[in-house]
Amino acid sequence: MFGLSKQCVLEVNEEYKTLEDYQGRVARWCPGCGDNGILTATQRLCRDEQLPPEKCVFVSGIGCAARFPHYMSTYGFHGLHGRALPTAQGVKIRRPDLHVFVNMGDGDCCSIGTAHWIHTVRTNMKLVAMMHDNNIYGLTKNQASPTSPLGMKTNTTPQGAYLKAMNPLTVTLGITNVSFVAQVVEWLPEVLYEAIRQAFHHNGFAFIRILQRCPHFTPDAFSSLLSDPKNLLMLQHEDGIQLSETMSRLYKTTEQHDPADINRARELADRDDIVPVGILYRNENVPRYEQVTKSTHKSNWEQREKVLNGAFDRFGIHADVASANEGTKAGDGE
């Protein structure tokens, strides 16, 4: 008799979700695009946390990174350019039971979406925001973005970018009520995954800047980081990210950084001689907008309908009033 006996067969929980349960359409990003690694890390997180797909929502704006919801077998909202964050806030405040993620590019977040970015940090709602930063507008074909480095030649800056690039880390760390800021690179999957995992468990708004290669328009943007590990400063701490033994051998430029120290976080974010990688800042005690404004009174549908009808009646035009007004106008004309 061939095969395993019943005693050797392991019982598998039928409710267990595999990676395939979170995989949507086949990704259509360019081969070598860093978005692929971010997608894989996020799907791994959903699998490891066993998040019900029907309880997950991925929100995006416009751009290459904004294709993300199409490639997740969850709920998703592909919105307008720069408007991913307010959409995500609306979802979260109406359905606090959902796990809400936001994926946006550097132009999507730091240009047209700047005001929403600032106020989302300030309201500190429980969301995970991943900013895919490849220093370029990729979908609209090689236009300079706010994070394009000084002198970078693009279709909109043929003589080179005129201004020094915006630093999303220093901006975010300077906003009132900031509670979680991290920076990682997409070609280190171990660190990328851990940053997303810690962001997911954070009690507030988690902002992750992910340096991401664009093989078509900015293939050499991060070549110095790839060729020389010493150009990456790996931030380690018991309350942050701990490197594995293999990673520690490869990346020896490290610092024990306490994520609770916002002053040191700002100093690290402002460095231009080296790129910090890890959790820069975390504070679990910052007030969350949806909790501060949460009403203790729970109304039923009948009460809500009564309130809505009362509001509509204030602006309604009734037949008797309309007739009286017509009569008055007729009398005024005689």
Q: Which of 160, 111, 181, 168 is nearest to 140 (CA)?
A: 111
Local confidence band at 316 (pLDDT 50, 70, 90 cut-offs): confident
To the nearest 10°, the Cα dihedral for 231, 235, 236, 237? 160
pLDDT in tens, 98-125: 999 999 999 999 999 999 999 999 999 9
Q: Considering Cα of 6, then 7, then 9, then 13, what sign does the dihedral take?
A: positive
Quick check: 318 pLDDT over 80?
no
Q: Cα-flanking dihedrals φ and ψ of residue 180, to 5°?
A: -155, 125
Angle at which helices 35-48 and 189-201 pack, to 10 degrees? 50
To the nearest 10°, the Cα dihedral for 314, 317, 321, 324? 140
List the structure tokens of 276. 């910090």
pLDDT in tens, 155-193: 889 999 999 999 999 999 999 999 999 999 999 999 999
Angle at which helices 114-123 and 84-94 pack, to 10 degrees? 30
Please state, in angstroms and rounded to a whole number, the distance separating the CA atoms of residues 145 and 139. 12
Please state, in angstroms and rounded to a whole number, the distance separating the CA atoms of residues 260 and 240. 10
pLDDT in tens, 268-310: 999 999 999 999 999 999 999 988 887 666 677 788 888 888 8
Task: Dump strand ranges (E) for the chain.
Answer: 56-60, 75-78, 99-105, 128-133, 136-137, 143-144, 180-185, 206-211, 232-236, 254-256, 275-282
Q: Considering Cα of 31, then 37, then 42, then 44, what sign does the dihedral take?
A: positive
Q: Which of 211, 212, 290, 235 is nearest to 33 (CA)?
A: 212
Pairing outcome for strands 75-78 and 136-137: unpaired
For the domain spanning 15-292, the CATH number is 3.40.50.970
List the structure tokens of 187. 């070609």
The answer to whether residues 84 and 104 touch, using CB atoms and an 8 Å cutoff, is: yes
| Strand arrangement, sheet containing 180-185 | 75-78, 56-60, 99-105, 128-133, 206-211, 180-185, 275-282, 232-236, 254-256
Domain parsing of the chain, residue ranges:
15-292, 301-333
Please state, in angstroms and rounded to a whole number, the distance separating the CA atoms of residues 305 and 307. 5
User: What b/e sequence results for 151-162 when a residue is b if at least 16 CB atoms lie within 10 Å of its CB, and e otherwise?
Assistant: ebebeebeeebe
Pairing outcome for strands 180-185 and 206-211: parallel
Is the full-model pTM beyond 0.75? yes
pLDDT in tens, 152-163: 899 889 999 999
List the structure tokens of 141. 């074909």
Q: Mean pLDDT score of the chain, rounded to an integer?
A: 90
Q: Three-class SS of residue 23?
A: strand
